[in-house]
Chain A
């Protein structure tokens, strides 16, 4: 339990640092973002392993709760990622860059006109395949299967089968806990901007199908 709490604390702290680093002069630093995401991943692994040890038979969550976060598409965070993503990939300041093609592939996925929830569902479908189905509510799984049947680009499909290290997802419990703790943390920090950012940052955390790592990686990519 102590381990879990500590891991949670570090995860929350890391997300806060990640957010804060976007506000500083000079913009997001790639190295710093990478380091923060590494700590996040270690904390999450620690949290998950502690959780599995402690709560072998946790009752499944009431299904009503799970679709809610997805129905509040985090337009702000997504828009921010969209706005930032093409910027990081722009050929304009890069005369020497030769990787035009992959960039063109990446950005449409991020600026996708399709609703955000579809891509999130896709990601979680691979998560449920990875054997953690016991902790994912059944209703969510049904929605994911529906999404899986839609024809999506192969590029997006590729992104949904990431290397094993990144394939694990955050669980609804974790996401909700983070959302609760994180917005609490931001609200009581005097230095943090008052209204918009907590809402903005809480949303990525509360997307149940998304892994925290993917959120962070997206922020890293967005840079």
Chain B
């Protein structure tokens, strides 16, 4: 039962292992921990950022479509050091080089552009190819040394000759010194000229061409910091309306703001909040309601939020409750105390939509990730593991046994490995290709192509 490309339901698809990138050994170097994953607008390029401040870009091979058994493989296209550790002498604090987010700009010319950010500084990188070089200068030798003009007896026209492909990354803009707190999100506006950056208390609006100033559009810092009760956890521009953006909070609310309403969008246009279920109230209720990610659907009609235990889909026209709620790992609700002890309760999971907005995906523990089909209401749990590392091996669905008798092939909650967490996932914008980041490996899965 094969559905059309890009419209596949999460469960009618058979997901197959395609590739895995990264070191094999279990001893994970901290710098190699993947901290963000993002496809570009065409899906041809896949960027990852890590804790060491490096960005690695993979490019999909252009396959011979007639003979392809699977879609093209992703191979390393460019690697560069985006951010370095810095030291804030004023606060005696080290600024981590970890890449928090990468966002691609739509392609306008031969070069590719992306924004990458650490806790304090956003950088615009230009990635360009060089596959030819000029040869045959009259006044210069091939190695660059200048020739004595008196030795030139004939003239020739320099020509471009092919060379081995070189991919160069150069920083074109550096947007610094605008955030006191730690940057958690960047989002490019649909006007492709401006973008926003959000930290714990403020959101700034930038123009891509201007680095020495930005506009503050949201400021939730209280006059007295002792009255602080919530922080901004994520922010995103609407995919179609260039005046609209949303930001989520640590209290589980989402605010939609319209930049046309006023210069400072402290007053929201809409407030999305679900009343708390009193039966679920517990000691840690407040902190697990914190939203770790917010993503608009491609259509712009819906947005998805991820909190510790669930994924919620909101209709922008309905503020009082989400239209759909999916439990990611409800079996953890009774383990919150242990998860607080081992700090796992603070993990920030991301979520993503497929190209047609029919399936959503998010990560969990034990290197499991989950997909929810919004149409069929079916869900599936898969594992990113090197054990299924033969290409085109179909992934076997996993099941966690919450309590009681464990069936064969089920895994009990107590044997889950909480050190193996999938926080970052990405879905190709057009095809059923997904990128799933474990601690230091990047897995690429595709749907089975016959």
Please report A residues at the B interface, Cβ cutoff 8 Å: 10, 13, 17, 25-27, 29-32, 34-35, 38-39, 42-43, 46, 84, 87-88, 90, 92-99, 102, 106, 159, 162-163, 166, 214, 217-218, 220-221
**Interface flag for B50 (CB, 8 Å):** no
**Interface flag for B266 (CB, 8 Å):** no
How far in angstroms is the closest Cβ of chain B from A211? 11
In contact, B228 and A93 (Cβ under 8 angstroms): no
Q: A88: which B residues are within 8 A, CB to CB?
A: 91, 180, 225
Given contacts A90-B91, A102-B224, 5 further A-B contacts (CB under 8 A): A10-B337, A26-B182, A27-B91, A29-B182, A30-B200
Q: B88: which A residues are within 8 A, CB to CB?
A: 93
Name, among B177, B219, B283, the residue most crowded by chain A CB atoms within 10 Å (CB to CB): B283
Closest to A83 in B: B92
- A43 to B223: give the CA distance in the assembly, Å: 27
**Interface flag for B13 (CB, 8 Å):** no
Q: A10: which B residues are within 8 A, CB to CB?
A: 283, 337, 340
Q: B223: which A residues are within 8 A, CB to CB?
A: 99, 102
How far in angstroms is the closest Cβ of chain A from B383? 29
In contact, A106 and B182 (Cβ under 8 angstroms): no
How far in angstroms is the closest Cβ of chain A from B269? 22
- A97 to B290: give the CA distance in the assembly, Å: 26
In contact, A38 and B283 (Cβ under 8 angstroms): no
Closest to A45 in B: B283
Closest to B286 in A: A38
Partner of A31, one of B96, B215, B221, B250: B250
Q: B90: which A residues are within 8 A, CB to CB?
A: 87, 90, 92-93
In contact, B346 and A94 (Cβ under 8 angstroms): no
In contact, B94 and A26 (Cβ under 8 angstroms): yes
Number of A-B contacts (CB under 8 A): 106
- A46 to B178: give the CA distance in the assembly, Å: 40
- Can you give 16 A-B contacts (C-beta < 8 A)? A26-B182, A27-B94, A29-B182, A34-B230, A35-B287, A39-B283, A42-B286, A46-B283, A84-B91, A90-B91, A95-B177, A96-B204, A102-B224, A106-B224, A162-B226, A214-B226
- A17 to B341: give the CA distance in the assembly, Å: 9
Interface residues of B in 211-267 (CB under 8 A from A): 213-216, 219, 221, 223-231, 233, 250
Closest to A42 in B: B283
How far in angstroms is the closest Cβ of chain A from B286? 5
- A221 to B181: give the CA distance in the assembly, Å: 12
Q: B94: which A residues are within 8 A, CB to CB?
A: 25-27
Interface readout for B97-120 with A: 1 if CB under 8 Å, 0 if not? 010000000000000000000010
- A88 to B88: give the CA distance in the assembly, Å: 12
Q: B231: which A residues are within 8 A, CB to CB?
A: 30-31, 34
- A94 to B182: give the CA distance in the assembly, Å: 13
Please report B residues at the A interface, Cβ cutoff 8 Å: 85, 88, 90-96, 98, 119, 177-178, 180-182, 200-202, 204, 213-216, 219, 221, 223-231, 233, 250, 283-284, 286-287, 290, 337, 340-341, 343, 346
In contact, A13 and B250 (Cβ under 8 angstroms): no
Given the known interface contacts A39-B287, A43-B283, A163-B227, the answer about A31 and B200 at a Cβ–Cβ threshold of 8 Å is yes
Closest to A38 in B: B286
Name, among B92, B177, B287, the residue most crowded by chain A CB atoms within 10 Å (CB to CB): B287
In contact, B93 and A31 (Cβ under 8 angstroms): no
Given the known interface contacts A34-B228, A106-B225, the answer about A39 and B119 at a Cβ–Cβ threshold of 8 Å is no
Q: A98: which B residues are within 8 A, CB to CB?
A: 216
Q: A106: which B residues are within 8 A, CB to CB?
A: 224-225
How far in angstroms is the closest Cβ of chain A from B329? 19
In contact, A26 and B119 (Cβ under 8 angstroms): yes
- A54 to B28: give the CA distance in the assembly, Å: 49
- A94 to B200: give the CA distance in the assembly, Å: 14
Q: A32: which B residues are within 8 A, CB to CB?
A: 346
- A166 to B225: give the CA distance in the assembly, Å: 13
In contact, A96 and B178 (Cβ under 8 angstroms): yes
- A10 to B339: give the CA distance in the assembly, Å: 12
Q: B230: which A residues are within 8 A, CB to CB?
A: 34
In contact, A39 and B340 (Cβ under 8 angstroms): yes
Top 9 A-B pairs, shortest CB-CB distance = A27-B93, A221-B225, A87-B91, A26-B96, A102-B223, A30-B200, A96-B216, A35-B287, A217-B226
Q: A221: which B residues are within 8 A, CB to CB?
A: 225-226
- A214 to B228: give the CA distance in the assembly, Å: 12
Closest to A218 in B: B226
Q: B216: which A residues are within 8 A, CB to CB?
A: 96-98
Name, among A30, A92, A106, A218, the residue most crowded by chain B CB atoms within 10 Å (CB to CB): A30
How far in angstroms is the closest Cβ of chain B from A163? 7
- A113 to B138: give the CA distance in the assembly, Å: 75
- A218 to B367: give the CA distance in the assembly, Å: 38
How far in angstroms is the closest Cβ of chain B from A159? 7
Q: B85: which A residues are within 8 A, CB to CB?
A: 25
- A137 to B245: give the CA distance in the assembly, Å: 54
How far in angstroms is the closest Cβ of chain A from B384? 27
Name, among A25, A214, A218, the residue most crowded by chain B CB atoms within 10 Å (CB to CB): A25
Q: B182: which A residues are within 8 A, CB to CB?
A: 26, 29-31
Q: A29: which B residues are within 8 A, CB to CB?
A: 182
In contact, B346 and A99 (Cβ under 8 angstroms): no
Q: B92: which A residues are within 8 A, CB to CB?
A: 87
Closest to B264 in A: A98
How far in angstroms is the closest Cβ of chain A from B51? 10
How far in angstroms is the closest Cβ of chain B from A40? 11
Name, among A35, A87, A94, the residue most crowded by chain B CB atoms within 10 Å (CB to CB): A35
- A92 to B179: give the CA distance in the assembly, Å: 11
In contact, B221 and A99 (Cβ under 8 angstroms): yes
